[in-house]
Structure 1
Amino acid sequence: YTFAKGKFAGVDNVVVSATGYTGAGGVEIYFKDEDGAADIIWDKMMELGIKPIGLAARDTLRLEMGFCLYGNDIDDTTSPLEGGLAWITKFTKEFTAKAILEKQKATGVQRKLVGFEMVDRGIPRHDYIIKDAAGNAIGKVTSGTQAPSLGKAVGLGYVAIEHAALDSEIFIDIRNTLVKAKVVKAPFV
């Protein structure tokens, strides 16, 4: 994470911070919106050829990278071990709930966040139920979309641990139709 503060398009005290939320280079721009600063900065960015995108495009890019969205893929009810974030959990240091996570690490998790790609035609959406071949519920989609840069639909979701292995066949219940998918490694790109 880096940032710089300076003047942009004649506007003082503009903070530009480097971000990686989409998996590609990006920035966030912060400034006090007074004296038409927002319009001035916007017009300058358009003059420089920057193309605006909406939140849906940003969400698709972060999903293609397998990045979790708080409130969808992770929240205060998921552990970093379930969410695939053990790599950033420092068990060598003290932290809240360390004992609980150490126990979970020793006994294993019951569910796991996995990446999946659709085998059959269909777009997975948040809260769609993930099922096994027999139609039993085994999890839930947390994020899903048609990924234009991949030419296929992908998603993230929690599944029972016995269905979390790579290449496991799973089914997404899309409007009462089981649509085949398979567990794959994220990032998808």
Structure 2
Amino acid sequence: MNSAAKQTPLHAAHVAAAARMVDFAGWDMPVNYGSQIEEHHAVRRDAGMFDVSHMLALDLAGPDATSFLRKLLANDVVKLKEPGKALYSCMLNERGGVIDDLIVYRFSDADYRIVVNAGTADKDVAWMRQRIAATGANLTLQARRDLAMIAVQGPRALERAAAALPELATARGIPSPFSCARAADLLVARTGYTGEDGLEIAVPASRAEAMWNGLLAAGVKPCGLGARDTLRLEAGMNLYGQDMDDTVSPLDAGLSWTVDFKDEARDFVGRKALQSKPAQQRLLGLILEDKGVLRSHMTVVAPSGEGETTSGSFSPTLEKSIAFVRLPLAAQPGEAVEVEVRGKRLKARTVKLPFVRNGQILV
């Protein structure tokens, strides 16, 4: 354990459960509680929970909130027609690189919550404050470190969470997919990072451990960062700092679907850079056919030219090694390619992402 690392409100619960703790983005976090593969399968087959309190919730409020976010983000918040709807977006710099990927929830035109990544939280807040000052927007931005966040994921996640949390018994307790609802002092969002159904729950830090223990009693298995990584990889979900960063365009990172160019008058940060430099690469999935393990930064030789893996690991669901690979635009799913692993060229094939969604193997 790194004694300088920050601790979430659930740290004592992880230590009591004999979790293996690691430093992740400056936080002391559980990587697993025993078998990482068992934790992975629990989420695919039943229900697992993750402490995601290292991520940061930001409350943006004021009369200029909607107009500010329309220029701050590459996706367009006007798509959020109803209160509680959620939107995934990248926040770009002027060069079109990804400062962070985030989720924004709309409560009203003057009230939003934004959830950002742990490793970029300070940078994100500084960038947003800079943009607020530069535009003179009438807004307040509040970092909610008084909250903990627990993600409950899996095909039985809703059922088990409802059994543990009486607040969810209310008529509006469980929101529709990619929406959120307030239930007493909780914010319950039907979102996640695993490719399964589930909830991400923001709870006052003082209540977090009691909630965690209640979910545990309802049969939800604690899961660490290891399973979270293999689950998101199977689900085709990017990891900031690995699959994209502030030097990578979302158009090259498989995230063009999150960039909204429709309103020509919406001059969001990075728009001009993206329009002047269209996509150069294509993000595909990779399945290793030979024996070995795929990791990031491996050279891939394809019919269209060379590329590089950005994330890679063993897939417990497929029981094979898988990766994301950035290849020239001409690359197609279903091609035979070779991966350079420790001086050897191993056989692999490209596939369309995701590998797995809602428990079903799609490749």
* Residue matched to 1:96: 269
In structure 1, the partner of 2:210 is 40
User: What is the Cα deviation at residue 132 of structure 1?
Assistant: 5.0
Q: 1:6 to 1:99 in 2, by over 3 A?
A: closer
Cα shift readout 1:109-154 (whole Å, capped 9, x = no counterpart): 3322221111112221122232359xxx922211111111112221
The reply on whether 1:125 has 2:292 as its aligned counterpart is no
- Determine if the alignment matches structure 1 residue 169 to structure 2 residue 336: yes
Higher helix share: 2
Q: Is structure 2 residue 280 aligned with structure 1 residue 110? A: yes
Same amino acid, percent of matched pairs: 37
Aligned to 1:159, which of 327, 331, 342? 327
Q: CA deviation at 1:85?
A: 2.0
C-alpha distance in 2 between matches for 1:40 and 1:99 = 48
Structure 1 segments unaligned to the other structure (5+ residues): 8-12
- Is 1:22 the counterpart of 2:199? The answer is no
* Other structure's SS at 1:42 match: helix
The answer to whether residue 345 in structure 2 is matched with residue 178 in structure 1 is yes
Change (3 A) 1:6 1:148: same
Range 124-133 or range 166-175, more displaced = 124-133
Partner of 2:354: 187
Would you say how many aligned residue pairs link Structure 1 and Structure 2? 175
Letter in 2 for 1:99: K
1:149 counterpart = 2:317: yes
**Counterpart in the other structure of 2:229:** 59
- How many angstroms does 1:45 deviate by? 0.8
Alpha carbons of structure 1 residues 118 and 40: separation in structure 2 relative to 1, 3 Å: same
Deviations 1:80-123 (A, max 9, x none): 22122222221223322323322333xxx332222111111222
- Higher alpha-carbon deviation: 37-46 or 65-74: 37-46
Q: Aligned to 1:123, what secondary structure does the other structure show? A: coil
The answer to whether 1:4 aligns with 2:171 is: no
Q: Secondary structure of the residue that 1:61 maps to in structure 2?
A: helix
- In 2, Cα distance between equivalents of 1:31 and 1:20: 16
Whole-angstrom distance in 2 between the partners of 1:112 and 1:22:
22
Letter in 2 for 1:153: S
* Deviation of the 1:156 alpha carbon: 0.2
Q: 1:41 to 1:20 in 2, by over 3 A?
A: closer
Distance 1:82 1:32, change over 3 A: same
1:52 Cα deviation from its structure 2 partner: 1.3
**Aligned AA (1:18):** R
TM-score by length of 2: 0.44
| Secondary structure class of the residue paired with 2:332 | coil
Given that 2:302 and 2:335 are in contact with CA atoms closer than 8 Å, whether structure 1 keeps it comes out as no
Amino acid at match of 1:104: K
CA distance in 2, matches of 1:104, 1:165: 21
Instruction: Report if the CA contact (8 A) 1:23-1:62 is conserved.
Output: yes
Q: Assess if the C-alpha contact under 8 Å between 1:73 and 1:157 holds in 2.
A: no
Counterpart CA distance in 1 for 2:297 and 2:217 is 41
3-state SS of 1:19 partner: coil
Tell me, in whole angstroms, the C-alpha distance in 1 between the residues paired with 2:333 and 2:213. 47
> Structure 2 counterpart of 1:57, which letter?
A
Q: Give the distance between the partners of 1:99 and 1:6, measured in 2 at CA.
A: 41
Whether the aligned pair in 2 keeps the contact of 1:129 and 1:141 (CA below 8 Å) is: yes
Amino acid aligned to 2:181: A
Aligned-residue CA RMSD (Å): 2.2
From 234, 248, 251, the equivalent of 1:78 is: 248
Distance 1:43 1:97 in 2: 44
Aligned residue identity for 1:152:
K
CA spacing shift, 1:112–1:32, aligned 2, 3 Å = same
